[in-house]
Structure 1
Amino acid sequence: MHLSLLESLVSAGAAAPVPVLARRPAHLVGNTPVLWIDEPFAPQGRGFHAKLEGANPGGIKDRPGLYMVGEARRRDELAPGAPIIESSSGTLGLGLALAGLTYGHPVTVVTDPGMEASMVRLLTAFGAQVDQVSAPHPEGGWQEARRQRVAELLARTPGGFCPDQYHNPDNSAAYLPLAAELLAQLGRIDVLVAAVGTGGHSAGIAAGLREHCPELRLIGVDTVGSTIFGQPAAPRLMRGLGSSIHPSNVDYGAFAEVHWVAPAEAVWACRQLARRHYASGGWSVGAVALVAGWAARTYPAGTRIAAVFPDGPHRYLETVYNDVWCLEHGLLDREPPTEPDEIAEPDECVVTRWTRCSQVRDPLGRAAAKAAVR
């Protein structure tokens, strides 16, 4: 007697993991999948494992959004119902909107004209207020202009709280569960490839992994025009990675090397991911995939490489995945080289394309200053 279709499906599903049954949206954060990525980034058998953080409701920064707010409440730094005000180019804004809904706080996201219109509408739909600065700071660019605006709003908002994602150690600590997930999914991890913006997820995940994989090599991925690793500040088309300030959450000593990636190279990688693997995202995802593919081709066979994909493609439909927009910015039909340029020192020259440097240090010398004090 043949099983019915329903019985067959039930029988097959009995051995499969049971999806989460969530009572609150915050329960959907975490336990994201890992996908094997090989061609065209690396030959078959020499690929990398991509942690798909776009499977979170809003992306990777749901994790620190919830954690920073929860910890501030636990320490009585954030009173019940008090306003949350923070600077964001987008993804943390979604995480804070989720935290505001979860814990009962109004949220204001301070951003700039570079935020996609779709992201502004999405944040508004989720109940956040969006405050947009109109001009970049003469030295710190849009990020510093946003931070100054946050300070202005806090000064006139009694009880207002800023999570300060750039300098709050809770930002990094929020990613320890992600490290535990990777260890449960992959066991040993030899190389971690992560984009760097505030420095939170690269520092937190690497610290968690090194408790079990002490020889882990961390490869940082930055964008051209970013000051994080010692390059001069310049206007940046890519959002979500890079910075025009120097966040103290960046753990410079944790990195084995850094790669800078240009926008056209990231666009190529994003579109290849979408076409070949049905899993893609924004600027950070493309840049990370490009570098992780290089690592998969370069490191010895059998090296286990994990790469963090911070978000999905949806907010980039009018930029990265829009042919007209990409043509206007000269980003189409520019396949990247198979190898990055190499520089010996991070400030040796101004990089304008994919470039690698194995010397990583804090351009402000903060680690050396702390050591001298001790």
Structure 2
Amino acid sequence: MPVISAPHEFNVDDLFVDLRPIFGRDLFLKCEGFNFAGSIKIKAAAEMVTIAERSGRLRPGMTLVESSSGNLGVALGIIAAHRGYRFICVTDVRCNPLTRRLMTTLGADVRVVGEPAADEGLLGARIRYVQQLCAADDNHVWLNQYVNRANWQAHYRTTAPAIAAQFPDLDVLFIGAGTTGTLMGCARYFKAYHPGVRVVAVDSVGSVNFGGPAGRRMIPGLGTSVRPAILAESFVDDVVYVEEPETVRTCRQLLGHGFLLGGSTGTVISGALSWLADRSLRAVAISPDLGERYLASVYDDVWVRETYGDVLRDGESDLCLASPAIVV
């Protein structure tokens, strides 16, 4: 039985879901949503804060500032509360309402950016706002997940070794590309210790991570409108792009089997299935979070229709979770 004194010390790192009964592929899902932050971002958050403290850059009484689409903000909110820091999270209008509520409940000061930058979208606008905050107050410390090596080092130390230990015969690993911290940490590890494993990045259509044209993206978590500085494409063997309606369909297919998982998970699995379509390989995909924070979006029929039109196939809308409960 684990006994902890800090919230970031607990994470279920050895849970994998066998997806063969659902999709008929030799595909396993590493679930990273079982910790106090509810997502894989607790690893990067803890690592970045710890390194900043050790270097003397972050000291008692200072204010943490970070740009986040949601999950990192929750993770930093938890760590800031535990260690006594004030925390300002700069997010945008795509952030799930429940995620915003979680951050404010944890004591975070949440700032929501509504207007995109002309050339770098909502992410660019968020980053500029963070820069303005830090320029106005030397007491503000921006961890900057987009350039911070500790972002990927957390996964080099923990996530990748856990996968390698469980699957010594692994052929291919699928990882979603957001800030690319998880991607880079795992890719660097496997290239160093298991170079025969192919690492495939899964990105959202409309993301500029790998040079694609910028476009509208409504599901937070994967994809960016500003290419992260920590991304090194030489460590990635292939890239798959996924349309967001396919993300919704895959999430709902998983839900039909009792697995309520996040939007990024739907994207990664959809990309993995597409890439594996004509290949017979043993594969693992990483699931960053669970699905509760997406009840008002991915799992809401009204939101899906208003956002994407009539994209749901027969039977997929039957899983709508937005209907009111019946009082008996």
What letter is aligned with 2:31? Answer: L
Cα distance in structure 1, aligned partners of 2:153 and 2:88: 23
Cα distance in structure 2, aligned partners of 1:232 and 1:54: 31
The alpha carbon displacement at 1:182 in A equals 1.3
Task: Flag structure 2 segments of 5+ consecutive residues without an equivalent.
Answer: 315-328
Cα distance in structure 2, aligned partners of 1:77 and 1:32: 33
Cα distance in structure 2, aligned partners of 1:70 and 1:228: 27
1:134 aligns with 2:114: yes
Secondary structure of the corresponding residue to residue 141 of structure 2 = coil
Whether the 8 Å CA contact 2:191–2:235 is kept in 1: the answer is no
Partner of 1:23: 5
Partner of 2:243: 262
1:217 aligns with 2:195: no
Cα distance in structure 1, aligned partners of 2:12 and 2:61: 25
1:54 aligns with 2:36: no
Whether the 8 Å CA contact 1:79–1:159 is kept in 2: the answer is no
What letter is aligned with 1:212? Answer: Y
Partner of 2:290: 312
2:131 pairs with 151, 166, 191, which one? 151
After alignment, is 230-239 or 191-200 more displaced? 230-239
Q: Which runs of 4+ in 1 moved over 4 A?
A: none
2:88 pairs with 83, 90, 108, which one? 108
Partner of 1:283: 263
Whether the 8 Å CA contact 1:266–1:286 is kept in 2: the answer is yes
Partner of 1:322: 300
Structure label with greater radius of gyration: 1
Secondary structure of the corresponding residue to residue 294 of structure 1 = helix
Partner of 1:243: 224
Secondary structure of the corresponding residue to residue 61 of structure 2 = coil
Secondary structure of the corresponding residue to residue 111 of structure 1 = strand
Secondary structure of the corresponding residue to residue 54 of structure 1 = coil
Secondary structure of the corresponding residue to residue 202 of structure 1 = helix
After alignment, is 226-235 or 287-296 more displaced? 287-296
Counterparts of 1:60-75 in structure 2, within 5 Å, are 60-75=40-55
Cα distance in structure 2, aligned partners of 1:111 and 1:187: 39
Cα distance in structure 2, aligned partners of 1:334 and 1:203: 35
Cα distance in structure 2, aligned partners of 1:320 and 1:299: 29
Cα distance in structure 1, aligned partners of 2:193 and 2:135: 44
Identity over aligned pairs, percent: 33
CA distance change for structure 1 residues 321 and 331 in 2, over 3 Å: closer, same or farther? Answer: farther
The alpha carbon displacement at 1:53 in A equals 0.8
1:98 pairs with 58, 68, 78, which one? 78
Whether the 8 Å CA contact 1:196–1:221 is kept in 2: the answer is yes
After alignment, is 285-294 or 70-79 more displaced? 285-294
The alpha carbon displacement at 1:25 in A equals 1.4
Cα distance in structure 2, aligned partners of 1:124 and 1:190: 42
Secondary structure of the corresponding residue to residue 130 of structure 1 = strand
Q: RMSD in angstroms over aligned alpha carbons?
A: 1.7
1:81 aligns with 2:61: yes
Secondary structure of the corresponding residue to residue 308 of structure 1 = strand
TM-score between both structures, scaled by the size of structure 1 = 0.79
TM-score between both structures, scaled by the size of structure 2 = 0.90
The alpha carbon displacement at 1:131 in A equals 0.9
The alpha carbon displacement at 1:279 in A equals 2.5
What letter is aligned with 1:48? Answer: L
Cα distance in structure 1, aligned partners of 2:184 and 2:63: 28
What letter is aligned with 2:255? Answer: A
Secondary structure of the corresponding residue to residue 52 of structure 2 = helix
